[in-house]
Amino acid sequence: MIEVRNLTKRYRDLVAIDQVSFDVAPGEILGFLGRNGAGKTTTMRILTGFLPATSGTAKVAGFDVFEQPLEVKRRVGYLPEQPPLYVDMTVYAYLKFVASIKGVPSAKMKSEMERVANLTAIGAVMDRVIANLSKGYRQRVGLAQALLNDPEVLILDEPTVGLDPIQVREFRDLIKSLAGKHTVVLSTHILSEITATCQRVLIIRQGKVVACDDLAGLAKKHQDGTHELSLEEIFVKLAEN
Amino acid sequence: MRNAIAIARKELSIYFTTPTAYAVFCGMTFIAGMMFLAALGYFQRMSMQFLSFQQPQLLDHLNLTDMVVYPLLRNIGVIFLFMTPFLSMRLVADEKRSRTFELLMTSPIRPFEIMLGKYLAALGLMAVAVGLLALFPLIVSFFGSAGTMMNSGGGSPIEWSTVISGLVGLFLVGAAMMAVGMFVSSLTESVVVSALVTFVILLVVWILNWQAGRLEGTARDVLDYLSMPTHLDAFAKGAPALKDLVYFLSFMILGPFFTERAIEAHRWA
């Protein structure tokens, strides 16, 4: 579903990501790990067509993100690190606006908005102005926005920041329910989230891929004698500069 | 087109649910009201003077359109000069600052549609502004009288064709200014910088013909043509030529064109 080949992004002298390659199969949930500044957000921005790569290619559902951006954008739901909210609008007006620019037909508008509001449990705040919402609610409105029009691919940049423990658990269940039908790339710093939801893990360090494997394979590769390392120990080992 | 309209509706709903549009329009009508009263006062004094000359036929040379509405519309151009930067400043800059630009750029819409939606909203705002200003000539037409003693034959106290031409001229001034403002806004993340730079550019365009007096020949004509009041004046007098329309249309085409380029450029860097 997602094919990334030798993706490189330079900001003047700074190399943000360097020759990154990986694949994500349809229906798979990929956990994307790395320390702050390792290049996670940059990679996600390139995948969504927000930033161009310096070199290399990225394809989503067979479409090149740079050559056919509209085809890609139609298939991708994206939650950036900072939820892209118009704080002066109500949740309802905001979701309606996003639904219309994502091409949800007017006849289905209402049911589609209800569907994402139920998935993210924001039905109670639909008429509130976004500026007055708590961080957790804002995060969920951002997630609802990404789910609109039922995209095949979801790219979520630290989606659980600001959620309370119960919401985090609900969010995990939501992600798990998406597996199979949707392809999800999910970045987070909470490792237990990865073990709970993801089938495969991609770890990058200073812009380079250091591991891309399923959880069992990763554990096997990094066996320490008879003792199997936890994801946290593997992460520390791989991601530390 | 559907996407552009969705964006235009979003823009207008933000302008009219926050105090922005109300504050700007209140300020505009208040200042325009002061100018209106001043022009009316002048008209009244002139009428009294002519009456005291015992030459009532002179009064026929006084009329409300030329002495009240025409100077008012010309002066409102100056209010627009101060007002439009505050309306245009957030058009694109605010999207970048609040990171919603990322939403627009990752949604299946073209940069052209983003620009078009924003410019349509800007034109909508200017239409509201001109609609509010049309109240002044309306007031005059209610309370004024058409003829004076010599020919109190009736008819409208206002020459509507001239006034409407003037209002259209004001709308075009606003549309041209918003086009400049939108382009400047697409170059920065800061609304303050956006408003300030827009204001400086518009002010320069406004006072270009101040230099024209010192010059002769072609240079003088060019400066005259390039400055905005020349063309607003033609509309306010009720006799716009094609070149006046072309002048405003070139802003209204170039501004959005460069804005679209500036938005598209984000996909490349």
pLDDT reported for residue B151: 46
ipTM score above 0.85: yes
Beta strand A76-79 pairing with A200-205: unpaired
Query: Which positions in chain B touch A45 (Cβ < 8 Å)?
Result: 102
Query: Which positions in chain A touch B105 (Cβ < 8 Å)?
Result: 49-50
CB-based contact B144:B62 (threshold 8 Å)? no
CA angle B89, B92, B97 (to 5 degrees): 90
CATH number, domain containing residue A74 = 3.40.50.300
| Number of domains comprising chain A | 1
Q: Which pLDDT tens digit goes with each residue over B72-99?
A: 988 999 999 999 999 999 999 999 999 9
Query: Which positions in chain B touch A80 (Cβ < 8 Å)?
Result: 99, 102-103
* pLDDT(B55) > 80: no
Judge whether A220 lies within some domain.
yes
pLDDT confidence tier of residue B181, bands split at 50, 70 and 90: very high
Cβ contact, residue pair A89, B13, below 8 Å: yes
B187–chain A nearest CA distance, Å: 17
CB-defined contacts A:B, below 8 A:
69
Q: Is A11 on the interface with B (CB under 8 A)?
A: no
**Average pLDDT of the segment spanning B105-122:** 96
CB-based contact A187:A33 (threshold 8 Å)? yes
Q: Which pLDDT tens digit goes with each residue over B219-237?
A: 888 888 999 999 999 999 8
> Which has more confidence, B210 or B5?
B5
Q: Is A68 on the interface with B (CB under 8 A)?
A: no
A3–chain B nearest CA distance, Å: 18
pLDDT confidence tier of residue B49, bands split at 50, 70 and 90: confident
Whole-number Å distance between alpha carbons of B47 and B63? 10
* pLDDT(B10) > 80: yes
pLDDT reported for residue A195: 85
Q: Which pLDDT tens digit goes with each residue over B137-180?
A: 888 888 776 554 444 445 567 788 889 999 999 999 999 999 99
Cβ contact, residue pair B110, A70, below 8 Å: yes
Judge whether A94 lies within some domain.
no
Residue A107 token pair = 């006849």
| Dihedral, CA of residue B28, residue B34, residue B40 and residue B41, to nearest 10 | -170
Residue of B nearest to A67 (CA): B267
Residue A194 φ then ψ, to 5°: -65, -50
Residue of A nearest to B110 (CA): A70
The dihedral built from the CA positions of residue B89, B93, B97 and B103, taken in this order, carries a sign that is positive
Residue A97 has its nearest CB partner, among B10, B106, B268, at: B10
Residue A18 φ then ψ, to 5°: -130, 110
Which portions of chain A are predicted below pLDDT 70? Answer: 224-226, 228, 241
Q: What is chain A's length?
A: 241
Write the CA distances from B40 to B10, B46, B63, B139, integer angstroms. 40, 10, 11, 11
Domain carrying residue B24: 2-265
Q: Is A74 on the interface with B (CB under 8 A)?
A: yes
3-state class percentages of chain A: helix first, strand second, coil last, to nearest 5 = 40, 30, 35
Residue B6 has its nearest CB partner, among A48, A69, A97, at: A97
Judge whether A99 lies within some domain.
no
Residue B107 has its nearest CB partner, among A52, A73, A93, at: A73
> Which has more confidence, B52 or B84?
B84
> HSE of A83 in the Cβ direction (CA atoms, 13 Å)?
28
pLDDT confidence tier of residue B46, bands split at 50, 70 and 90: confident
| Number of domains comprising chain B | 1
A189–chain B nearest CA distance, Å: 22
pLDDT reported for residue A197: 86
Query: Which positions in chain B touch A102 (Cβ < 8 Å)?
Result: 107-108
Residue of A nearest to B264 (CA): A50
**Average pLDDT of the segment spanning B239-264:** 96
Cβ contact, residue pair A88, B18, below 8 Å: yes
**What DSSP designation does A61 have?**
T
Cβ contact, residue pair A74, B108, below 8 Å: yes
Domain carrying residue A215: 2-82+152-239
CB-based contact B234:B172 (threshold 8 Å)? no
Average pLDDT value over all residues in chain B: 89
